Amino acid sequence: MGARDDSDEAYVVGLCDLILGESGLPQHKFDWLLGDPGTNGRRARLPVDAFWPGHGLVVEYRELQHDQPTPHFDKPDRLTLSGVHRGEQRALYDTRRDTEIPAHGLRLVVVRPADLDADGRGRLRRNKKADLAALKKILAPDSTRCRCRSRSGSGSDEERVIGAFRAWLLAGGWTLVDPTDRWTDLEAVRGEERLICEAKGRTSEKGIDADIAYGQLLRRMTSQDPRTRYALAVPSSSLKASARVPLHVRQLLRIDVYEVTDGGQVRRLST
């Protein structure tokens, strides 16, 4: 038995097989899901953890190194051909999966150790009964963990914005944590700082969606700690609508607006 066969990833995929009644295709590669160019200029196909064709479902099991800096895996002193270290490249590739898989009509579900019975280091205890019960909820077609359709109806573009902002946070030394509020898109800590994020994708109702986003952030302002701030991440097309709230009001509420460009760059709005 190889190391991968005995991994937590293989264990999770096996449980999904039982729930779905179909054997998934582990480490499946799609022709349209590609990495960055290699030394020969070619782009290799990126694998997904498992694909169930009969269900149109992809499951990604993302261990702790996908959500927080891990020097052993990231090798920050070595740059890849893409000009970033492995941790940053992993985040970029995760973002690419989050965007491309739903864009091609497939359902993407992301599972993390915190969703199952895991210890403090993110190792699964292999509590089969509890893990099966948790996965049944996560794999349900209407689960909030499904990344194929956003809550606001803006489709995979919201996932693109979330993915880009997530990669930006990781590159800035932030550690992603389980949100205090289940509807929060991203929550991260860095030292004594905490950042709570609401994200929106491209929409035909930019003003309305911006107003909704501000309202969602207001409901999450349960902490009076000045080290807790709130982020609104939006695509370039929604930046003007998001800036309608005056700067002095945003400063009082500790809200920062971030633009996510079509190329995936993140810029903090300064006015």
Query: Residue 162 is part of a domain; what is its CATH number?
Result: 3.40.1350
Q: Indicate whether 70 and 189 sit together in one domain.
A: no
Question: Which CATH number do you get for residue 45?
Answer: 3.40.960
Contact of 45 with 30, CB cutoff 8 Å: yes
pLDDT-based confidence at residue 92 (cuts at 50, 70, 90) = confident
pLDDT-based confidence at residue 153 (cuts at 50, 70, 90) = very low
- Using the structure block, give the residue that is written with the tokens 């005995």: 6
Q: What percentage of residues in the chain have a pLDDT greater than 90? A: 49
**Which of the two residues, 38 and 161, has the higher pLDDT score?**
161
pLDDT tens readout for residues 173-190 = 888 888 888 788 899 999
pLDDT-based confidence at residue 148 (cuts at 50, 70, 90) = very low
Alpha helix stretches (DSSP H) within 104-141: 128-139
Strands (E), 112-211: 175-176, 186-190, 193-199
Q: Name the pTM for this structure.
A: 0.53
Range of the domain at 167: 149-271
Q: Indicate whether 65 and 183 sit together in one domain.
A: no
Phi-psi region of 164 (alpha: psi -120 to 50; beta: other; left: phi over 0): alpha
